[in-house]
Homo-oligomer: A and B are copies of this chain.
């Protein structure tokens, strides 16, 4: 087979590799036609750019087929780039860092391998979406639900490997993985943790290992391809309260952050509070986008038996509720009602996925709306949050860009996630949005903040910020890369980690 996009290694190696992949996986499992590749481009890069174009897409349906793909890629020195669903469009969607990479599309590996209703976990393949797991739990009538992020179409494994956040007590999704199966660059099949023992019964229950814990190596990295993972589930609560704190201005913001941090630290609030500036609630409790306003709302949730939730809410009233100018609201639901509540905010904190936030009628350029998210991480301290919000605001203002501002709070950390909307058909606008991102990385680094993940365009720049000890982290990353993947076939450039022989890619 022949692709119109060449790798650096030259089209001849690529053609042979694709022929071998067809022989191993079947003709329908390999795509090379330009029209077929279109949906796998970085959807938010400048439309005319081919910098992040793949040469082909291969679609394994099993771990064995992933092993075959990896062995073929090694033989022909063809770079691969893996995605699970590839739906996080602000971070490149399914597109590769290295032009001409062969995409390993795991959407066909979409089996839920196990649901243990007693121990409350599932084992899923990378193609399993939030929608799929929720459907399976509802269908089983299981008394269990799952943590989810805002959009239901993404991969559980993909989101979690990128340190994605959800809105449940298991909202730190990376920590909610337990027991990975991973294909290494040489085709070796590794099971992490207790799974390294054949038949071990704690593989998906015990989060650690005998000896070093290797699971972290496969987060946001290019050291292996995760082909299944354990995933913790939650018992449906008797009572669930969706709560909102509404307020205006920076002074209240700092106070609300400090008060919520206290409630997170003492575990009164067990999910991830999410703040938005420029939103308000309509009479049905739906968030309404009012970008020019200075109003904030913080959304969070309480779970438990009725008297537990009432006691938790009294603690919220006694702290957040006493801040001048803060209005508290909540709506309380039967947590075991499978249909769940009517609006997105209420659903997402109970694990019921939807696609509401991508409603094109809400977006400035309709179907053509792209967005670039900037996500620096800092301490969950009111004064620091306010200073960072002001800095980010001034940087967008200085670039003449409007943006939507969000804040995700854990007990000790604040994730400042701001979003600029743009039209990727407009080259000038697109370049200006990406250039501003680069400037913001530098400005935030000067105050001790770095993004926790980034887009293809800025992976190297963000990696450059982690320069402690003469770039000790990068040197370690590269030592491991060269030891584990000497031909550099797995996702070269991911998170700024390149193989030694980058020139031949």
Q: Is the CB of A469 within 8 A of B412?
A: no
Q: How far is the CB of A450 from chain B (nearest CB, A)?
A: 5
Asked if A475 CB lies within 8 Å of chain B CBs, one says yes
Specify which of A216, A475, A480, A496 lies most central, judged by the most chain B CB atoms within 10 Å of its CB: A216
Q: Please name all residues of chain B whose beta carbon is closer than 8 Å to the beta carbon of A311 when the two chains form the complex.
A: 304-305, 307-308, 310-311
Task: Tell whether, in the assembled complex, residue A190 and residue B473 are in contact, meaning their CB atoms are under 8 Å apart.
Answer: yes
Q: Which residues of B contact A204 (CB under 8 A)?
A: 412
Residues in chain B near residue A199, CB distance under 8 A: 448
Bound-complex Cα distance A221 to B266 (A): 33
Chain B residue nearest to A473 (CB atoms) is B196
Stoichiometry (number of copies): 2
Which residues in B have their C-beta under 8 angstroms from that of A169? 267
Say yes or no: A195 contacts B468, CB within 8 Å. yes
Docked CA distance A442–B270 (Å): 41
> CA of A198 to CA of B466 in the docked complex: distance in angstroms?
7
Asked whether, in the complex, the Cβ of A448 is within 8 Å of the Cβ of B201, the reply is yes
Nearest residue, chain B, Cβ from A415: B206
A220–B216 touching, CB < 8 Å: no
A194 engages B377 (CB within 8 Å): yes
In angstroms, Cα B378 to Cα A305, docked, is: 29
Residues of B within 8 A of A191 (CB): 468-469, 472-473
Known: A206-B377, A308-B268. Is A221-B211 also a contact (CB below 8 A)?
yes
A214: interface (CB < 8 Å): yes
In angstroms, how far is the closest chain B Cβ from the Cβ of A430? 24
* Distance of A315 Cα from B479 Cα, bound (Å): 52
Q: Is A207 an interface residue (CB 8 A)?
A: yes
Cα(A465)–Cα(B451), bound, Å: 40
Q: Is the CB of A215 within 8 A of B214?
A: no
Contact of A202 among B184, B262, B267, B449 (CB under 8 A): B449
Within 8 A of B (CB), among A469-497: 469, 472-473, 475-477, 479-480, 482-484, 494-497
**For A192, what are the chain B residues with a Cβ–Cβ distance below 8 Å?**
473
Q: Are B196 and A472 in contact (CB under 8 A)?
A: yes
Of B175, B208, B235, B270, the residue contacting A265 (CB under 8 A) is B235
A211's partner among B214, B411, B448, B495 (CB-CB below 8 A) is: B495
A351 CB-CB contact with B under 8 Å: no
Proximity string of chain A (360-381) to chain B, C-beta cutoff 8 Å, 1 when within and 0 when not: 0000000000000000011111
B residues near A479, Cβ cutoff 8 Å = 483-484
Q: Is residue A312 within 8 Å, beta carbon to beta carbon, of the partner chain?
A: yes
Contact of A208 among B206, B452, B454, B465 (CB under 8 A): B452
Chain B nearest CB from A185 CB (Å) reads: 11
A202's nearest neighbour on chain B, judged by CB, is B377
Kindly state the separation between the CA atoms of A465 and B126 in the bound complex, as whole angstroms. Answer: 28
User: Which single residue of chain B is at the shortest CB-CB distance from A212?
Assistant: B221
Look across to chain B and name the residue whose beta carbon is closest to the beta carbon of A232. Answer: B412
Contact residues in B for A308 (Cβ distance below 8 Å): 268, 308, 311-312, 315
A467 at the interface (CB under 8 A from B): yes
Does any Cβ of B come within 8 Å of A66's Cβ? Answer: no
- Chain A residues close to B by CB (< 8 Å): 118-121, 163, 169, 172, 174-175, 178, 184, 188-192, 194-202, 204-221, 223, 232, 234-235, 237, 258, 261-262, 265-268, 270, 303-305, 307-308, 310-312, 314-315, 377-381, 384, 411-413, 445, 447-454, 462-463, 465-469, 472-473, 475-477, 479-480, 482-484, 494-497
What 9 A-B pairs have minimum CB-CB distances, sorted nearest first? A213-B216, A211-B495, A483-B483, A205-B412, A196-B473, A212-B221, A201-B448, A196-B466, A307-B311
